[in-house]
Each structure stands twice: as structure tokens, then as C-alpha cells.
Amino acid sequence: MTKGVLGNDPFQRGAAPRTGEAKDAAADPKAAKKSAKGAKKSAGKAKGAKASAPKSGPQAKAPKGGKGAEAKQAAAAPKTPAARVHKFEARADGRGNGNGKPAQDAHAPGDEGSPLREPSTPEPASEPRPQVLAEEVHGSRPQERKVDRALTEALASDAAEAAAKTAVDGLFEGRRGPDRDIERVLATELVAELAESAVRQVLDDGDGGAPERELATAVATQVAEATAGVAVDEVLDRHATSPEERALPTAEDRDARDLEDAEDEATEGVWTADAWRRDPKDVPPPADSTEEVWTADAWRRDPEGIAVSGDPEEDDDFVSGVERVEENGVHISVSIIEGAAPTDVDPEVELPDESHDELPPSRRPLSLVGDAGERPLEEELERGEAAFDRPEESAPPAGFAGRAVGMLSLARDIAGQALASEGLGRAVGAMHGLMEAMRTSLGTGGGSRLDDYGKDAGLVENLQPVLDFLYEQYWRVSVEGIDQVPRGASILVANHSGALPYDGLVMSQALLRERPDLLEARWLVEDQVFHAPMLGTLFNRLGAVRASPENALRLLDEHRPLVVFPEGYQGASKPFAERYRLKRFGRGGFVKLALRTGAPIVPVAIVGAEETSPLLGRLPGGFLGFPSLPITAPGPLPAKWTIRFGEPLTMEGLPPEAADDLGEVQRLTERTRESIQSMLQALLRERRSVFAG
Amino acid sequence: MRIAVTGANGDYGKLLLPRLEADPGVESILVLDTKEPPPMSKVEFHRVDLTRYDAEGELTDALTERPVDALFHLAFLFGPILNGPLAHELEVIGTMNVLTAVGRARLPRLVVPSLTATYGARGNNPALLREGSPLFGCPHSRFVNDKVEVEGQVRAFRERHPDTRTLVLRFAPLLGPSLDNPATRLLSHAVVPTLLGFDPLWQAVHEEDAGRALHLALRAEAAGEFNIVGRGVLPLSGLIRQAGAQPLPLPGPLFRGALRALGAVGAGTLPVALLDYMHYSWVADGERAESALGFVPLYHVRDAASALRRSQS
């Protein structure tokens, strides 16, 4: 069997969950989510398995097939909590004894329920990585050196663990609590971790002679003793924090996650579980002859670790494996490695680094929370708020590596908080704006910064996040030829579209964004909309002006761009099939205006608004003062908008008296109409998809 | 300068008399009213009842006995009263008497206050109503329609007597601690019903500004109509909030029915006609008063409304 069978193969990835309880879970979305959560939690253990893997070394010649099958078979096992717990314990024991108890034991069904349920305890996530790196760095050296090094390391780690145990035990003396034992184990591990990384640093610097062996041992002991206090604090600290609080999603992550459906969630979880099994084999770098030396020692620790020659896919999996490990809240140990043993990371080996650089550090722990799928959406805001409490929980510890740890985790926390608060602030701002809009439309808004036309600057400010979202992300408005809009007074004539007239609002937003040199544009709406209860009130507060010659003249006198929709209410109530066929252009009122004021006419074509709120039918709406009530989509649809501005028609050479010449007015009206219609047809030809543009 | 004032005990009179009293250019104030005003050094009181059949003769006698430089005709109601015919007598017939007397006495200046409400709150009002806009009044309100009728009389008088400088000051709703009109009564409730889904723009004049505008009309070189409005506009809900109350949007038919029922019982606290003004905007443009009359409002609508709140507490 090839490694593909071990879970890399997408087909296998899908197949894996079908063993054991996950099979049933697949049918029930809720259960699937649950199992996803479980699987993600187990990712923490995956790291455990991985941790021992590198020590086992690339066992290129090991019986791949058989082991692979066994691993696969076992894949379903860790989904029961007991098994998981047991696995963790087994691993902890192995490390505590320092001689590498076979990790295979972990797969045996757990018979005792240990209280250890913390998936995010600070396990040495990336501990093996540096070693792998070291492997590669020294891969070209003589085998003896390898052996020497291995021996030295083993000795040093033994010494380190012993020292760590003593130190931690000493520190735990007098402390009590239900999880004291676990905490002690964890702290010991953490300390040993630190010591070992220090040893490796020493070894990497030197060439592994006999004196170095002693040196390494001494270093390990010293470091272990020095960091014991820090580690204990860290463990206690972490232990006090519940996993949810530790791994909080930012608003963006939440958004991203909302898009995933339950199935995705489930697959991912299962995949993680799978990865857990797979990781031990994924870790080692391409096999070479020297690594057989390792096998002896490593095999003892992890007989299940099977060396697999690396291929690109493998790398990917490893990267995700590492990521996932961190996501379970164990980033502390990662920080330790980063801080204490930076030399371990060889720039040539990009494998682990990539996993770090893929995303900004602050985002990673938050991006895939183990139990995200299980939470109802309503709780998310609450969780987001809890994010503000985080920094207080992780007080930066003092000490050798502790300072670095503290700084890093503090920076991480600050970044996370900033992200969370910015996202949260935006979301809250948008909600606030929408609430305000709702109140305004009901007639209780009570804004106090209105201009003479009724535009409420305060409301527009509050709604700006929503408008920005609609403009940039939802409708993805693209604007063409807006430079043609002349300065000063101008009449922008556009096709009216959609059952609900969003077009005026979007036009004014487009002008505001693309042409800040112009005065604020206003758009005219027909009486039927302007006096519609709620809708009319809201539109008026957002800047719509009732269409009347007096208002238009006044706005043009103020040298504003004026957006008009000469089709009027008819234009907004076109049947869907005729949505881009222009209706009669009123009585040419805008041409008369242009002639009287000398303001140029700019034809504008808007495509996309019709599909945003398609007119599906009409209801008699006389009781509300409408000629008809449009039946449309319940909300605006995410059609892509394109607004094209045509060449302006100047009124030069035409006297204001021409406004009384009906023939002239008719001619200009027709010209404008044709110009818009041809732009519309061109835009429709260019458009390939309604929603993608 | 000798000034004659009718209706000196009304709200306008209370705002204007102290200013005239303090004005060094004013020698004496002839008060033509049914009640004696609060004592002031310049005031001469002459009892005239504008609703009586002989009011016109009495006014002419009083005005010609000693010539006056200006007449402020301030004898108007500030809100609908239950006795509709009396209101009509006072406003329309009283104004007719005053105008006749002014014509006979050939007074150089006549100042008449009016309301921007006479434009009517209508769906097809322009965003800002200029003085030239037609006065549609309010179809259901006798009070507003009487005002419209008075305006018609004054306009006709102005055309017939070009040598009398006639100024009509159309006031936006007056707000202030010392006033009592439908607007201040409306805003004095803790909860103010409004129309669900509508939030028209309202204007208001602070009483100080209103007094100042009246005083300015004494020496202004211009004639005709002027919109006297405060700075800015507020939606009705905003005005209510500024005045320290809470808007309560009610569905239109329900609200209308309730008001009708209350009015029929005689317990009407709010005139039914006010509903129109809660439905559509009637924003007047104060630009002409600023340029021709020299009236620049000092108070924003916000201030006028919050002045009301301060007076309540």
C-alpha cells in the first residue's frame, strides 16, 4: 500500500470517516459536526504522534504496507474520548520515562478514564521539527557523527527530563487541585522540551564530540531547572483558561466559517483525524541511508512511525498538520521553539516555516477552532466579546525563554485582539447603522443633522459600513468613464432599474467615491417612492430628493451633479423580460432643465440593478399610495453592477428659450435615450454572467 | 415714532411689546385691545373689540386721532379653538376691519403675522417653499384656512394700497418657554404619537427670533411676504426627542380615528389637521427674510426644541 492509502488520497480522505462512528455521523449533520469537533480535538494528539515520529526517523525500508493498513484501521479508534485520552497518557508516560514507550500502545482501547481532556495543553508541537531540520543539516556528515549525536541527545534529554521532573515536582509541592498530576506532567514536558531544544542548539553548533556530550547534558539540566518555574506557571495559566477562550475566532474568521456548510466542517474534521494517523509517517524527510541508524532508536519509541519518502502532497499534509496542531491552542510551545532555539530552523528547509508564514500569526490560532461547528451562531458575538479578556489571562512570564514566550504570545494576543475588535467594531457599526435605518424608516429615527432636503448626515455615516459592503463586496460596482462627468452642475440621466430603486443610492456612492472633487450628488425620485411609507422616508434621509422642477433647479443652482431617472416609476416597474429596454423618457423635463440652466446632460447606463431586485410580479397597492406593489426577491441579490458614463451632451449654442421648443426638447430627449440604450446593449453584450460579471 | 398694536396680549404681542418699549426710536405704543396689557411707560391703551360691528369706526378714530407710523395687527389665534365661528369673526372679520381702518387712516406701514402652515403640508411641495408658492392651506382645518383667507385679504389690500408698506411674516411653528400653541402642546407630552413610516421635516422658530423678526419689520425697507424660520430642519421625531419626549409611531388610520373620536367628544388635545403636518414636509425657505428683511435666525430648531424642554423641567 502506498502512502496515498494512508490518508493522503482525497478518495481515502473521504473514505476514512466511513469507518466507525463517523459513518453514522455523516448522515446526521449535527453529529457530523460533533465528530468534526472531536476529530479536531484529536489533532492535538496528532501532534503527539508526530512528535515521536521524527525521532523514529525516516524508516524508508520499514514494512510500509502492513503498517499503513494498521494505521488506517486504527483511524476510527481515536474518536472515542477514552482512546484519545489514553493515547495522550501513553505519550506523556513515554516522555516522562524518557525511553520512548511504544506509541502503538496509544491505539489500544483505553480502559481507564483519565481526567485529562485538555486538547490544548501545551504540548511540544513543533519539537520534532527542529530535529528533522537538524537531520537534514547534518545529513551529509559521517554516520558516526549521527550516532554520536543521537546518543548525546538521548543522554541529554534523559538528563533534562530528570532535572525537569525534579524541578517541577519541587514547584508543585504544596499546590493542589484536581488536575495536579496532569499539570505536573505537562510542566515536565514543557521543561524537557525547552531543555532539549537548548541541547539541540548546542549540538548543532558543535560537531558532537565526547566533551559535547557532557556539555549537552549539563546544558539540559541547567535549562530544565531554569525554566521549570516558567513552565509551571505557563501550564497552570493555560490550564485555568478554557479551550474556547484560548482559541477565539475573529469576526473575519467567523464570516469565513459561516460560508462553510456542515458537510465541509465534517470532512475537515475527519480529515484532521486522518491526518493524526498520517502525520507520524509524513514527518520524516526523504529517506537516505544514514537514517537507518536512527531507526533502531526511533523504532523503540514509535514502532508505528513509518518512513515515507516525501512528495509534494506529503508536504502539504504536513503543513496542515502542524497548523492544526497549533490551532488547538498549543501555540505556546511553538513560541518557545521560535524564541529559544531559532537556529534550529534551517532556512533551506521550508517545510515548517511555510506553515508559519502562511497566515499572520494572530489569525492562525483563531481560524479553525476545534469546536466551531457545534456552536450556534448566536453565541459567536458573545465569544467575540470574550476575546477582550484574553490578554489579561496570559501574563508574560519572566525568565530565560519565558520572556521571549511572553513577548510573542503578548504580541499575538494584541494582534488577535486588534483583529477581533476591528472586525467586531465593523460588525457592530453595521448593525448599529441598520438599526438606525430601521428606526428612521419607521419614523422614530430623530436625526439632528439634516440638511434642507432631508438628508441625514448622521444616518449616512452610520450606514457607511453597510453601504461600503454593498458597494465593494456585494454588488462589486464597477464604474467606467466617470471622468466624463463635468464639474459643476450636470444632469446625469440613467435608466431606472429594479423593483426597488437602489440605483440612485449607488450612483451617488459611485460619484462620492470616484469623483471627490464634485459636490455631493443628489438623485431625484418620483412621488410614488418618495411618499411611500418607510421606504420614502429612508430614501429621503439617505439623500433622495422628490422629483420636481423646483427641486431640480435649486440643486443645479448649487452646482451639484443631479441624478435623474426620466423613466420614472414606469422604469422601476418594468417586467423582467424587458428590464433593459428603456421606457418613454417622461416629458423631457430633464432636457428643459438642461436648456434652462445650461447644465450638460451625461447619459449613464446601469447594468445589474435589474437583477438585484427583479420584478417578479405586482400587487395592487392603492391602500399604501402605490400604483402597484412590486413582488421581488426578499433582499437585494448579489448581481454585479456596472455603471458606464457616456459622453456629455453640452447645451452650448442652444438658448434657454429652446426649452419652450417642443421639437428641440424631443430631439435631445431622443438622443439621450438612444445613447443610454446603446450603452446598455454594449454592457449586456460584454457581460458574461449576471452574478460574476 | 408712534406704533399701534392690536392683540397686544397675544403671544406675538408679548414678544413684541418689550422690544418696542426698549426701542429708543419708539415714542409711544397705542394698544388696541379688549384687555389692558401689562403696564409699560410708553403704552397707551384704547379698548377696541375687533369682533364688534363698530370696530372699524373705532379703529379709524383711534388711528386718525393721532397719526401712527405703523400698525402691528397681531390679534390672531395661535391654535384652533372650540368656538369656530368666534375664531372666524376675530381673524377674518377682525382683519377686514383693521384693513379698512388702515386704508382710511393711510398708515405708512402694516405688519401682519401668518404661518408657514398656510402653504399646507402636501406631497407635491417642493423641498423648500418660497414666498411665491401658492397657499393651499389645510383642507380639514378651519384654523389654517382662516389664516389663508386673511392672507388673501392682506394681499388684496396691498395691491389696492401701494403707499402702505405691508409686510406679512409667515412664521414657522413658534417654540419657546412662554408660548402656548399646538406645536408646544404637542411637544410637551412625554410620548408624542406620530405616523408610522413617515417622518416629515419640521421647522421651528425660537420665540426670541420671532420677536426680533417682528421688531425688524418695523424699519425694513422691503414689503411682501417673508418666511420666518429658524436655522436648519429636523425630522418630526428629532424635534420630539429634542424636546425631551418620545415619538410613538402609530398606523395612520388608527391615529386618525382616535383623534377624530377624541375631537368629537370634545377632549381633543391635538387638532386632527396636525396629522397632515405629520405626514408631509412643509419646509419654507427663509432666504428672502434674510436678504430683504435682514432677519438672520440665531437659534437652530434644535435649540428651539430644547428651550421647550428646559421650560418644562
Predicted confidence at residue A231, as pLDDT, reads 63
Predicted confidence at residue A601, as pLDDT, reads 94
Is the CB of B123 less than 8 angstroms away from the CB of A441?
Answer: no
In this structure, the answer to whether residues A390 and A496 fall within a common structural domain is no
Three-class secondary structure of residue A19 per DSSP: coil
Question: Nearest Cβ partner of B126 from A443, A537, A551?
Answer: A551
Helices (H), A515-573: 527-530, 535-542, 549-557, 568-572
Asked whether residue A49 is domain-assigned, the answer is yes
d(CA A292, CA A89): 29
Residues of A in contact with B196 (CB under 8 A): 442-443, 533
pLDDT digits (tens, 9 = 90+) for A581-593: 888 887 888 999 9
Three-class secondary structure of residue A522 per DSSP: strand
Which residues are CB-contacts of A295 (< 8 A; sequence separation ≥ 6)?
A: A56, A57, A59, A61, A62, A307
Predicted confidence at residue B206, as pLDDT, reads 94
Top residue of A436, A438, A440, A444 to mutate, by most chain B CBs within 10 Å, is: A444
Is the CB of A454 less than 8 angstroms away from the CB of B128?
Answer: no
Which residues are CB-contacts of B298 (< 8 A; sequence separation ≥ 6)?
A: B206, B208, B209, B212, B231
Asked whether residue A143 is domain-assigned, the answer is no
Q: Are A481 and A646 in contact (CB under 8 A)?
A: yes
Sequence letter at residue A440 = T
Asked whether residue A355 is domain-assigned, the answer is yes
In this structure, the answer to whether residues A349 and A403 fall within a common structural domain is yes
Is the CB of B199 less than 8 angstroms away from the CB of A537?
Answer: yes
Lowest mean pLDDT among A39-48, A330-339, A421-430, A480-489: A330-339
pLDDT at A129 over 50: no
C-alpha cell at A241: 483558561
Q: A262-282 and A29-56 helices cross at what angle (nearest 10)?
A: 10
Predicted confidence at residue A141, as pLDDT, reads 54
Predicted confidence at residue A371, as pLDDT, reads 41
Residues of A in contact with B248 (CB under 8 A): 444
Bridge partners, B221 (sequence order): none
Three-class secondary structure of residue B82 per DSSP: coil
In this structure, the answer to whether residues A475 and A410 fall within a common structural domain is no
Distance of residue A655 Cα from the nearest chain B Cα, in angstroms: 26
- Return the top range by mean pLDDT from A42-51, A623-632, B20-29: B20-29
Residues of B in contact with A441 (CB under 8 A): 197
pLDDT band of A183, cuts 50, 70, 90: low
Q: What is the mean pLDDT of residues A219-232?
A: 67
Which CATH number do you get for residue A618?
3.40.1130
pLDDT at A359 over 90: no
In this structure, the answer to whether residues A462 and A331 fall within a common structural domain is no
Q: Are A259 and A136 in contact (CB under 8 A)?
A: no
In this structure, the answer to whether residues A417 and A461 fall within a common structural domain is no
Judged by a CB distance cut-off of 8 A, whether residue A59 touches chain B is: no
List all residues of chain B from 110 to 139 with a beta carbon under 8 Å from chain A.
Answer: 123-124, 126-128
Asked whether residue A356 is domain-assigned, the answer is yes
From A422, A443, A473, give the residue that closes a domain: A422
pLDDT digits (tens, 9 = 90+) for A373-399: 344 444 444 444 444 444 444 444 556
Question: Could you count the other beta carbons within 10 Å of the beta carbon of residue A472?
Answer: 12
In this structure, the answer to whether residues A366 and A510 fall within a common structural domain is no
Predicted confidence at residue B83, as pLDDT, reads 81
Lowest mean pLDDT among A98-107, A388-397, A506-515, B283-292: A98-107
Q: What is the mean pLDDT of residues A204-223?
A: 63
From A375, A396, A422, give the residue that closes a domain: A422
d(CA A16, CA A512): 54
Asked whether residue A171 is domain-assigned, the answer is no
- In whole angstroms, how far apart are CA A683 and each of A42, A304, A608, A613, A680? 53, 63, 10, 19, 5
- Residue of chain A nearest B238, judged by CA positions: A446
In this structure, the answer to whether residues A595 and A495 fall within a common structural domain is yes
Q: What is the mean pLDDT of residues A454-477?
A: 90
Nearest to A488 by CA among A643, A651, A607, A674: A651
Three-class secondary structure of residue A281 per DSSP: helix
Residues of B in contact with A451 (CB under 8 A): 233
Is the CB of A452 less than 8 angstroms away from the CB of B281?
Answer: no
Q: Are A227 and A135 in contact (CB under 8 A)?
A: no
In this structure, the answer to whether residues A284 and A402 fall within a common structural domain is yes
Of A446 and A294, the structure prediction assigns the larger pLDDT to A446
Asked whether residue A195 is domain-assigned, the answer is no
Distance of residue B144 Cα from the nearest chain A Cα, in angstroms: 23
List all residues of chain B from 174 to 213 with a beta carbon under 8 Å from chain A.
Answer: 194-199, 201
Q: Are A352 and A209 in contact (CB under 8 A)?
A: no
Distance of residue B159 Cα from the nearest chain A Cα, in angstroms: 27
Lowest mean pLDDT among A113-127, A150-164, B75-89: A113-127
Asked whether residue A249 is domain-assigned, the answer is yes
Asked whether residue A199 is domain-assigned, the answer is no
C-alpha cell at A294: 536512527
Taking phi over 0 as left and psi of -120 to 50 as alpha, with beta for the rest, A174 belongs to: left
Q: B94-105 and B142-160 helices cross at what angle (nearest 10)?
A: 10
Distance of residue A493 Cα from the nearest chain B Cα, in angstroms: 21
List all residues of chain A from 618 to 677 with a beta carbon under 8 Å from chain B.
Answer: none
Q: Give the number of residues written for chain A.
A: 693
Radius of gyration of chain B (CA): 19
pLDDT tens across the length of chain B (313 residues) = 899 999 999 899 999 999 999 999 999 999 999 988 888 899 999 999 988 888 899 999 999 988 899 999 999 988 888 788 889 989 999 999 999 999 999 999 999 999 999 999 988 889 999 999 999 998 888 899 999 999 999 999 999 999 999 999 999 999 998 888 888 888 888 888 888 888 999 999 999 999 999 999 999 999 999 999 999 999 999 999 999 899 999 888 888 888 888 877 766 667 778 888 988 999 999 999 999 999 999 999 999 999 888 776 5
Question: Nearest Cβ partner of B194 from A443, A527, A534?
Answer: A443
Q: Are A191 and A227 in contact (CB under 8 A)?
A: yes
Residues of B in contact with A538 (CB under 8 A): none
pLDDT digits (tens, 9 = 90+) for A235-276: 666 655 444 444 444 444 444 444 444 334 444 434 444 444
Question: Cα A253 to the chain's mean position, in Å?
Answer: 4
Domain, as residue range, for A326: 3-127+233-422
Nearest to B152 by CA among B137, B174, B130: B137
Which residues are CB-contacts of A671 (< 8 A; sequence separation ≥ 6)?
A: A649
Judged by a CB distance cut-off of 8 A, whether residue B240 touches chain A is: yes
Is the CB of A443 less than 8 angstroms away from the CB of B197?
Answer: yes
Top residue of A550, A551, A558, A560 to mutate, by most chain B CBs within 10 Å, is: A550
Distance of residue B288 Cα from the nearest chain A Cα, in angstroms: 15
Q: Which residue has the cell 522540551?
A: A193
Strands A490-494, A561-564: pairing is parallel
From A361, A395, A422, give the residue that closes a domain: A422
Tell whether ipTM is more than 0.90.
Answer: no
To the nearest whole number, what is the mean pLDDT of chain A? 64
Predicted confidence at residue B171, as pLDDT, reads 95
Question: Cα A662 to the chain's mean position, in Å?
Answer: 60
Question: Nearest Cβ partner of A446 from B198, B201, B241?
Answer: B241
Question: Nearest Cβ partner of B249 from A444, A447, A453?
Answer: A444
In this structure, the answer to whether residues A600 and A475 fall within a common structural domain is yes
- Return the top range by mean pLDDT from A9-18, A71-80, A439-448, B11-20: B11-20
Is the CB of B249 less than 8 angstroms away from the CB of A443?
Answer: yes
**DSSP letter (8 states) at residue A28:** S
- In whole angstroms, how far apart are CA A541 and each of A438, A522, B286? 12, 11, 21
C-alpha cell at B7: 392683540
d(CA A277, CA A652): 79
In this structure, the answer to whether residues A368 and A470 fall within a common structural domain is no
Three-class secondary structure of residue A402 per DSSP: helix
What is the total count of domains within chain A? 2
Dihedral Cα A70, A72, A73, A78, nearest 10 deg: 110
In this structure, the answer to whether residues A56 and A106 fall within a common structural domain is yes
d(CA A629, CA A395): 61
In this structure, the answer to whether residues A582 and A671 fall within a common structural domain is yes
d(CA A60, CA A289): 9
Q: Which residue has the cell 397657499?
A: B135
List all residues of chain B from 269 to 288 with a beta carbon under 8 Å from chain A.
Answer: 280-281, 283, 285
d(CA B115, CA B174): 9
Predicted confidence at residue B100, as pLDDT, reads 94
